[in-house]
Amino acid sequence: MLTVPYITNYLTEHFADDAFGTIEGYERYGGYAGYRQALDTPAEDLIELVKASGLQGRGGAGFSTGMKWSFMPRETDQPKFLVCNADESEPGSFKDRILMERGPHQVIEGILIAALATGSDKTFLYVRGEYAHPADRMEQAVREARERGYLGPNALGKRRSHEIVVTRGAGAYICGEETGLLESLEGKKGQPRKKPPFPAQYGAFGMPTTVNNVETFSHVPHILKHGAEWFRGFGTEKSPGTTIFGVSGQVRRPGLYELPLGTRLDEIVFEHAGGPAEGRKVKGVIPGGMSMPVLPASLLDVPMANEFLRERKTMLGTGGIMVMDDTTCMVRASCVISYFFRDESCGQCTQCREGTGWMHKILERIERGAGEREDLDVLLDVAAKMEGQTICAFADAAAWPIQGMLRHFREEFEEHVRQQKCPFPASFEL
Amino acid sequence: MISDETRSRIDAEIGRYPTPRGALLPALHWVQEEHGHVSRESAAELAEIFGLRAAEIMEVVSFYNMFFDEPQPRHHVYVCTNLPCSLRGARTLLRQLEAHLGVHVGEATPDGRLALGHEECLGACAYAPMMRVDHRYHEDLDFEKAKRILDELD
């Protein structure tokens, strides 16, 4: 975190101190106090507290965390599991990595509170395979927590054990989709499952399971310590709390900015991240990881919270903000985006497997100067036939950004077709 | 042959999951660490351990980018070329590395020292351009810096 510009709030407050990553340091900063409090709190009250806080999942979908926890069956003879989704792979997102590297015990404390609330026996923390260092940090922290008795036979009170198993993926974006992750965790290809049944009924290894993102867990100890009202003091009425916005692309200060939800996008891009380089203008901004539709420069005066972003036909996603300046060719950017989805489609559903390939092929043709006028409508037609037609949301995630590009920058696509070449020779190399 | 050490590591890992197969991905990582790739022989051994067919092991191997079913060069170099990195010159860097190494993306140097590849987002977007060399990230690169790192590899 410290090699890039950043702004801190409660999640990242002590990240500059290496000691915060150790158990002694974390305890010195008041760590595990929320867990101790949770030990003496009935499970139902914990769920109610998190519901009252309004915490929404920070992995992209933004679903109420307290609600999710409440779906776990209370009375059951089956073991119950938690999964910490640390398969951060959404292009433009790099916050979970920092949360694991700099605050691993904050993640563990959040997991323990969730385990108490849901009565879970074990947590599988699934880290993307490329994150070797964050996974090492989490394993080290789990060992420390076990030595201190936070994990192990009495983790959830007398004779109620809890263990965290850190498990590593092997390079597949789709394993960030929660049921793709569950398949991968079971040692299979990471192809998403049809829902229902939802993970709370049939999750990891067929047992009731709750899947939460790394950042979501990291917020929980703070809610325990300071209360739901305090948490609601950050952010908007419908989207409380802070989040870590990762800003990348063509700005002066790409970095990590922990700010209240509802902070305006133009404030983040121009004030915190310093705006574009000297003499350049911002052309477009992807506000929430690559799956989310782009916004043109004229629509950046929007609070970064789903209730406002939806009005502009985009979403918060993972809070990964990508900035493109006026040198950037939006057709070229679309090629890069569509290549990614073509490469990462798990191949299970025809609409997605074929659609992502065709979208990329057509976009490349337009960029090369061989596009035809009808291509634009074909693109939109393919996108419409992918959206909402598949087992998981991957096909939507592939369709939305291209729909967004055509919504706001259609004239650039038309110009490519008219000139039969790319009119932006100064754009980044493809 | 999977070594006794790796075998006992796998056996211990199996105990951490409700069904043995949960330990398959970790097992594949360790077998690959030991042998550089997952050979047909290793797949057959793993199939025995997990009570699966060798084809089921290879199905998993082929699904994930990080597993290989053929012998690999000593080092893997991946330059991230996803959008945030591309916006900050990753593809220019990749072209320069191609020229420096005399190979195209997707190829290995003839001496089997390293393979040059590109990869999708590695979660280092504010540190672009970047590359992954084996299991290490190298960030905030320019050509000179990247070249030095690659030239120092054994």
CATH topology of domain B75-151: Glutaredoxin (3.40.30)
A246 contacts B137? CB cut-off 8 A: no
Which of A81, A127, A137, A188 best tests the B interface by mutation, with the highest count of B CBs <10 A? A188
Name the CA dihedral angle for A67, A73, A78, A82, rounded to a multiple of 10 degrees. 10
Task: Supply the pLDDT for residue A158.
Answer: 82
Residue at A244: amino acid letter: I
**Distance between CA A137 and CA A157 in Å, rounded?**
26
Strand partners, A7: A257
Q: With a cut of 90, say whether residue B140 has pLDDT above it.
A: yes
For residue B87, give the nearest of A167, A190, A249 by CB distance: A249
Q: Which residues contact A123 (CB under 8 A, 6 or more apart)?
A: A81, A82, A83, A84, A111, A115, A162, A163, A164, A165
For residue A130, give the nearest of B19, B122, B127 by CB distance: B122
CATH of domain B4-63: 1.10.10
Q: What is the pLDDT of residues A319-328, one digit of tens each?
A: 999 999 999 9
Residue with tokens 């092929």: A361
B67 to chain A: closest CA residue: A170
Average pLDDT over residues A92-115: 98
Which pair of structure tokens corresponds to residue A34? 């929320």
Task: Supply the pLDDT for residue B57.
Answer: 98
User: Phi first, then psi: what are they for B91, rounded to 5°?
Assistant: -75, -30
B134 to chain A: closest CA residue: A130
Average pLDDT over residues A42-59: 97
Q: What is the pLDDT of residues B5-16, one digit of tens each?
A: 999 999 999 999
Interface TM-score (ipTM) > 0.85: yes
For residue B135, give the nearest of A132, A290, A336 by CB distance: A132
Where does residue A18 rank: exposed (0-12), middle (13-18), buried (19+ CB within 10 A)?
Answer: exposed
Instruction: Return mean pLDDT, chain A.
Output: 97
Average pLDDT over residues A120-148: 98
Tell which residue, A182, A184, A173, A181, has the closest CA to residue A345: A173
Average pLDDT over residues B23-37: 97
User: Phi first, then psi: what are they for B18, rounded to 5°?
Assistant: -65, -30
Domains of chain A: 9-232 (3.40.50.11540), 242-325 (3.10.20.600), 330-419 (1.20.1440.230)
Task: Supply the pLDDT for residue A240.
Answer: 98
Average pLDDT over residues A47-76: 96
Task: Supply the pLDDT for residue A430.
Answer: 85
A78 to chain B: closest CA residue: B18
Domain residues of chain B, as ranges?
4-63, 75-151
Name the CA dihedral angle for A321, A11, A209, A62, rounded to a multiple of 10 degrees. -40
Task: Supply the pLDDT for residue A3.
Answer: 81
Average pLDDT over residues B36-47: 97
B95 contacts A429? CB cut-off 8 A: yes
Q: Which residues of A touch B60 (CB under 8 A)?
A: 187-189
A325 to chain B: closest CA residue: B87
Q: With a cut of 90, say whether residue A2 has pLDDT above it.
A: no
Q: How far is CA A214 from CA A84, A101, A219, A266, A365, in A?
A: 6, 11, 9, 27, 39
Task: Supply the pLDDT for residue A1.
Answer: 53
For residue B22, give the nearest of A131, A187, A336 by CB distance: A187
Task: Supply the pLDDT for residue A429.
Answer: 86
Q: Which residues of A touch B123 (CB under 8 A)?
A: 88-89, 93-94, 96-97, 128, 130-131
Q: With a cut of 70, say whether residue B76 has pLDDT above it.
A: yes
Q: Is the separation of the CB atoms in B102 and B109 below 8 Å?
A: yes
Would you mind telling me the total number of residues written for chain A in this entry? 430
Which of A12, A83, A94 best tests the B interface by mutation, with the highest count of B CBs <10 A? A94
pTM: 0.97
Which pair of structure tokens corresponds to residue B142? 């320019």
For residue A97, give the nearest of B59, B89, B123 by CB distance: B123
Q: Which residues of A touch B26 (CB under 8 A)?
A: 167-168
Q: Which residues of A touch B12 (CB under 8 A)?
A: none
Task: Supply the pLDDT for residue A235.
Answer: 98
